[in-house]
Structure 1
Amino acid sequence: MNTITTNNLTHSQQIQINELVTAAQQHDGTKRLPFVSNMYNYFPEMQNDILAYEGDALVGVAAIYADVRPDDAGTEVFLIVHPEYRRQGVATELRKQVEATLKQFGYSKYSFVTERRFLDANPEFIKNTNLEINPATEFQLSMNPPTTPLPTDDELELSVMTKDLIPAMVKLSRRAFGGEEETEKPGPQHYINTMAKPEMLIYVLKKNGVLLGSTSVDMSDGYYLFSLEIDPDYQNNGYGTELVKLAVNELTKREPRILTLGVDADNPRALHVYQKAGFSIETEIVYLNAKI
């Protein structure tokens, strides 16, 4: 077995990863797709993708998502091994290289991303890997593209975010996250990076010219909605649900695809927003804590 590390996947490598993920999900009954881009990583030079090969065949992949400082919690690792190559040391080698990479940049802790159904089907997994289950879980929701547009408020306007809105969105996002003095993200670079990627979209919601909120979409494989934000001054007025429904309508007009998103299991208000817009829970995401 040989490995390759990169922070800039080729088109061929991306296809191989997609095929590997499909094989693993069909075997395990899992749903979560790995995020393999490095565009949000705190250290852009980090080689965040590690690919394991047997000959020309990709048999395993690990993807590091580290958008936080080394001292902060939240670094995630997706590690997937082809079902035919499990229990042959592939995962052990990938984990070893993940930890070496994280240690190089000063990280001392991280979490593997898995699903409840995988753990239920593999009851010895936690003991064999010496990992600790994080009690905070997440639901992944999905929605088939609607055959007719979802009903929405005619007074609301949805548009693709433009660069002139970055200062206003930074201010709104920081307020939504708990106050401008309490967080440094998302900052201008977050929006610049997202808008520069052809597979990414940011939709903004306005009413009578007033900016109410935004949501982002990863279009690289289906439609994955994330970072739903509503200005605190306009929350609890149904604008979150309206924003999601308008985004679903616009995306479906582009090309009908499955829509997915994630929401913290302990956030019933956000879960209600998405379910009211037509999404349903398809799996529970579990994080397994590890120390280097």
Structure 2
Amino acid sequence: MTIKAYHSLSERVLNEVLNLENVCLDYDNLKGSLFLDPSLNFDQTINSFHLCYEKGELISMISMFIPTRQEAEISAYTLPKFRENGYFKALLANAVEELRKFEIPDILFVCEKPSISGKKVLAALNAEYEHTEYFMRFNKSRYAARDTYRLLWRKAELKDLEKTITTSMRIFDDSYEDAKSLLEKCFESETREQHLVVLNDEIVGIGSANIEGEDVSIFGLGLIPEYRGQGYGNELLHLIIDDLLQRGRTDLTIEVNSENANALGLYQKTGFYIEVAYEYYRKKVC
């Protein structure tokens, strides 16, 4: 057994990981996909990919998404014929050592809801179920555009950074450091776009999109508290969809916590349907 750790993946290693993922998805009849972009991790030097090889073949891997210092989201796959042989256990121990170096206190294991093998591993780890998130996909045929808008939607510029940070803190209850780190990475990215929602010259919300490949992922949508419950959320979602459709982008995705009934209902009414359900399980870094 050989374990290797990386903070980013070369094209060769990325192809190995994607091949491993595809084999596991087919075997377990799952639909999800790994998040393999480390650019949003709060520290770019952290080794967020841990790979296990046997005789030169990639047989098991862990990917960690760590946007803040509070927790690391862990996803993992092991080739079916190598399961229950300690490979994932060894990889997890290696990943935990990396998390200790950066004083990250919690792990959130991500497990696709139908995954029997995944839930078996999490039960053995005594990880506690926390919540479920839905990965949703847009169906254009079920979308009805609005006729009028009260809100304006404009792309944020670097000069808007501090105002955007303040707005994000009010919406998501982030710390200044976490909001600044995430938004700076968005501004620096070649594929992510940060937008502002404006009403009467006041910034009342934000929204983002990652435009990479065929899929466009919508994320970070929100309104400051005093503008919620007045129909502005519906306008906000329509604004970003209209903007993307006008640019010829129809393969849109969004994620939502299953307990957020208002957002889930809004997304469904606006043309999104649930494609994959991910369960999240929490465990302290020992």
2:40 is equivalent to residue 46 of structure 1: no
Superposed, 1:84-123 pairs within 5 Å as 84-119=81-116
Structure 1 window deviating more from structure 2 (268-277 vs 165-174): it is 268-277
**In structure 2, how many angstroms separate the alpha carbons of the residues matched to 1:206 and 1:108?**
37
Distance 1:168 1:288, change over 3 A: same
Match of 1:160 among 130, 155, 165: 155
* Percent of residue pairs bearing the same amino acid type: 21
Distance 1:99 1:198, change over 3 A: same
Shift of 1:80: 1.7
Superposed, 1:214-253 pairs within 5 Å as 214-220=206-212, 222-253=215-246
**In structure 2, how many angstroms separate the alpha carbons of the residues matched to 1:255 and 1:93?**
45
**In structure 2, how many angstroms separate the alpha carbons of the residues matched to 1:27 and 1:160?**
43
**In structure 2, how many angstroms separate the alpha carbons of the residues matched to 1:60 and 1:256?**
35
**In structure 2, how many angstroms separate the alpha carbons of the residues matched to 1:249 and 1:20?**
37
Distance 1:149 1:260, change over 3 A: closer
Shift of 1:114: 0.4
Give the match's secondary structure for 2:195: strand
Match of 2:197 among 205, 211, 229: 205
Distance 1:18 1:68, change over 3 A: same
2:34 is equivalent to residue 34 of structure 1: yes
**In structure 2, how many angstroms separate the alpha carbons of the residues matched to 1:255 and 1:141?**
19
Shift of 1:166: 1.3
Which residue identity does 2:194 align to in structure 1? I
Shift of 1:233: 2.7
2:136 is equivalent to residue 141 of structure 1: yes
Residue 151 (structure 1) aligns with = 145
Give the match's secondary structure for 1:39: helix
Aligned residue pair count: 283
Which residue identity does 2:260 align to in structure 1? N
2:179 is equivalent to residue 187 of structure 1: yes
**In structure 1, how many angstroms separate the alpha carbons of the residues matched to 2:161 and 2:217?**
22
- Give yes or no for contact 1:2–1:52 (8 Å, CA) kept in 2: yes
Distance 1:109 1:123, change over 3 A: closer
**In structure 1, how many angstroms separate the alpha carbons of the residues matched to 2:16 and 2:236?**
35
- Give yes or no for contact 2:3–2:51 (8 Å, CA) kept in 1: yes
What TM-score, normalized to structure 2? 0.84
**In structure 2, how many angstroms separate the alpha carbons of the residues matched to 1:101 and 1:175?**
32
Structure 2 unaligned runs (5+)? none
**In structure 2, how many angstroms separate the alpha carbons of the residues matched to 1:158 and 1:269?**
22
- Give yes or no for contact 2:42–2:66 (8 Å, CA) kept in 1: yes
- Give yes or no for contact 1:111–1:287 (8 Å, CA) kept in 2: yes
- Give yes or no for contact 1:131–1:289 (8 Å, CA) kept in 2: no
Which residue identity does 1:79 align to in structure 2? A
Shift of 1:170: 1.2
Shift of 1:65: 2.0
- Give yes or no for contact 1:150–1:249 (8 Å, CA) kept in 2: no
What TM-score, normalized to structure 1? 0.83
Distance 1:206 1:42, change over 3 A: same
- Give yes or no for contact 1:110–1:289 (8 Å, CA) kept in 2: yes
Task: Calculate the aligned-residue CA RMSD, in Å.
Answer: 2.8
Residue 15 (structure 1) aligns with = 15
Give the match's secondary structure for 1:117: coil
**In structure 1, how many angstroms separate the alpha carbons of the residues matched to 2:282 and 2:179?**
28
Shift of 1:113: 0.6
Shift of 1:68: 3.1
